Structure 1
């Protein structure tokens, strides 16, 4: 994305610093179970430094690296664009990237650019990759004008209001209309402009208009009676099945009622878990789902893989069928609550629900459905997103709360 100089900077400066910050963050959380993980990270950093030095030496002698440009054409285009705008105005701006790995190298590249002079660029990533103190320090400098640029991930799409922010650059591709709207909203200046390097701005604008128009249609809103019926359907219980934590014949489970999982919220919980533990945005249907053609050429979801501290795991359709065996799903998917859901939508929701329940049973998700801090670092290390789907290990003899209580 950025060129050889940025790659070398990432190897020399960023990797060790991110791991050092990660260890410090884990220790600050005060969880005894996680302290050992933080300690192991700290102990391995000296040997990692040596390995990175050896890697850098090998890269310097690599013909492909020797022939590569110090700054990529894409990055140079960004520098030229910002230079042209900032030399004429006192504006400030934010350059958004999807990958955390790009944030610090991009900020360093912009800071080193003679074309940009002393504009100054900070780096802001999510709370899981940067200390809150450093993050706030960068934001304060930006708000007060000490620096005029920020390189940031989606963590900055909400919550910052700088009146002089006239430039928003989408340097890498975005995949949702929500990201387009939130990122564009950071440009507060009356003459603000949003620049796209990968997406088509006309298409994104059309999607924004369509989403806004849909949200304003009162005919799509639920009446008070429909809302009450939806609440009833959401809370409808099937003993030892739905929602989670399960309700048994003797009453609710001893896990309490916080962080309920149901078929209507499980996809959001699952996507958030995967994004946080993998450290990047995901496209579940492309990267985590496996589909098979059934009789009649119907494309059906046959397996879902999910990242864990021990590697990729997967749950297959037979496991899902077994879990819901003998259950009339109409009891969960009331007509009022799911009138816009297709059969495929419902199958996916039921499938993902089983996966999320398993994540809770393994304690990878806490009682509030957030990833446990102790699993995040190891999960990302053991679960490269580009690994083959077939490498995921099937869960055997799934143990659910109902089994434990029977």
Structure 2
């Protein structure tokens, strides 16, 4: 396992640097949003950095060999959430460990990337057979079902997109995709209108009330401007008020009072951390954060390109999809471009389980890069 010989000239210092700088900036932004979370995030960052560096020198094929064990652990944790989980704001997504809370749905992201990557490698020759695809769909459906009933629809859709990206990179036939799209698109458009109509009917059973409200707020923001749209409206106001250079971190002057000081945006340390970025560091700081996220995605894709086998290529691609898609969603929500969801901004938002998941994934990507194909 640890006796693997690596050429450390291939160690991706750019990726490590981008991750550590972004994570460090995240601690500063969390401190500005709510200083009570700062110490936990800092300790978590130190621990997770150790996990990342440790996994970077552990043969990723060794980790992949435990894919079925990881899958079963993931299922057990998701079941425990329903049995003994902590409920917050109507959602039961956490397991109380005493010193912190564990959110298994965040671990599901990296575990399922590994599991699907190994599955595709094992079925590289017969992936397009319907029995193989059906088995894969069922194996993915179980954890997704356990996540969606927490309820956590946004994370379910997030994981679904990530896994579809991994399957696509794994060699899914473009001809088959085009064939399916010709059938799906004409059907989905009228179904979409039907869905919007149905969720507004009394006693509908598809979505929870708060999920319906989020969708309708996005479609009719003026109607909900004083209620559910209030948070996103204030987030946009905060970002815009930062102008070019921002008001400065932890700015408490009367002239430059921030949204963090007034509490106009709730959950600012997690879902709406980008409003802190925009307000306190302005356009320049926002561009730096987005650029660092882009660097991480690009470096993951570069690693996927030089990976020595299929599973390595798919894991690195999956991490690129995870960081890229989740960053797009989080920033899209903070800027009112997308409906309100509960997805954190990778490496920046508060959340120890999510940070552990990202760091573990990056550690595996670093090891894939050390074993690059020449």
Q: Which structure has the larger Rg? A: 1
Structure 1 length normalisation: TM-score? Answer: 0.23
Q: Which structure shows the higher helix fraction?
A: 2
Q: Which structure shows the higher strand fraction?
A: 1
Structure 2 length normalisation: TM-score? Answer: 0.25
